[in-house]
Structures are given as C-alpha cells and as structure tokens.
Amino acid sequence: MMYPFMTLNDETEIVHSDMQNDGRVKVYIERPDEKYGFKHAACWLPDYTWEDIYHFSEEEIKQFEEIIRSTAHLIIEFSQEGGFENASNL
C-alpha cells in the first residue's frame, strides 16, 4: 500500500509504502508532464537507493533527496503506522 506524504507547489506528489519485512520503505515521486505523461522515481529508505528514474534530471533527484533526507524520520514512522492520517488519528 502507498500513502500520501507531500505535494509540492509544482504538483510533484511524494508517497511512501508500508515498512517492508526487511525494514525498507519505498518513497515514490511523480510529477505530471505534458511531454512524458508523468516523470517518476523511487527511493528506498533507509539507504537512499534510487531506482526507476524516468525523465527527472540529476539536479531534480538531488533536490528530492534533500527533501527525503530532511523528512525520512517522519516517513519511516508513518510507514509503520499506516500513513500520516493513521499516525495523526485523523
């Protein structure tokens, strides 16, 4: 299951998975794009391994990694609680 985490001003969506049995959490990023449909990429926590990068530049990936690194503690916590809405009792 994937849970919404953050929407950036440019319509980039950041979502995350439940924590896997091996302790990893998948963070998935996508942005609508007129030319490609959607740009997307996935980053695995806690080791910040990137995969499936589709039409994001190296600079964009660096910016996303900064966002993910600054919020990783929250993403990991929420991944164990069923997402932000469950963790915050909304």
Q: Which three-class secondary structure string do you get for the chain?
A: CEEEEEECCCCCEEEEECCCCCCCEEEEEEEEECCCEEEEEEEEECCCEEEEEECCCHHHHHHHHHHHHHHHHHHHHHHHHCHHHHHCCC
- Residue 75 falls within a domain, yes or no? yes
The tens digit of pLDDT for each residue in 10-69 reads 999 999 999 999 999 999 999 999 998 999 999 999 999 999 999 999 999 999 999 999
**Is 90 inside a domain boundary?**
no
Tally of domains within the chain: 1
pTM comes to 0.89
Residue 89 lies in a domain: no
pLDDT for res 87: 58
Question: By residue range, what is the domain housing residue 76?
Answer: 2-84
Q: For residues 11 and 46, what is the distance between their CA atoms, to the nearest angstrom?
A: 25
Using left for φ > 0, alpha for ψ between -120 and 50, and beta otherwise, residue 66 falls in alpha
Q: Which residue has the tokens 């915050």?
A: 88
